[in-house]
Amino acid sequence: MPLSPDVPVSTRLKLSAAWASTMFCYLYCDYFELYVPGKLSDMLQGDMGPLGQVTQAVLLGTGTLMLVPSLLVFLSVALSRNAVRWLNVFFGLFYSAIMGLLLVMAGWWFYTLFAAVEMMLTVYIAWTAWRWSEDR
């Protein structure tokens, strides 16, 4: 039986898929950034750009920033509706704000593109979670 393009998709799956897409954007953007001239030499010297020198605290902070959306891929389908809704509203807005700041600071075009797409995805996440009613 062929799948219809109009098969309803649950809000939970939409949120989970949006977080997965966001994570792919984060990963690919960071990968492409390795090709920016001087980036690898700075990394080898322990320089994390605007975050300064590499420390355990800086790596813990940046790791936590990436851990949260990674976990939300799973948590969006595993937790209660109310918890999923509020976590997605909060973190969708939080990551939108971060990407908004990075969008202003972006110097390379690829970074601007990724920041804009990531921001659209996280705004979509917050908006979808906010509009999530009991019957959906």
Nearest to 76 by CA among 9, 125, 13, 7: 13
Q: How far is Cα 34 from Cα 85, in angstroms, rounded to an integer?
A: 35
pLDDT digits (tens, 9 = 90+) for 3-38: 567 888 999 999 999 999 999 999 999 999 999 999
Q: What does the pLDDT read at residue 134?
A: 63
Q: How far is Cα 88 from Cα 75, in angstroms, rounded to an integer?
A: 10
> Token pair for residue 82?
């109310």
Q: What does the pLDDT read at residue 136?
A: 47
Region 62-73: mean pLDDT is 96
pLDDT digits (tens, 9 = 90+) for 81-129: 999 999 999 999 999 999 999 888 878 999 999 999 999 999 999 999 9
- Tell me if 79 sits within 8 A of 91, measured CB to CB: no
Find tokens 């920041």 and name the residue.
115
Q: Would the pTM of this model clear 0.85, i.e. be above it?
A: yes
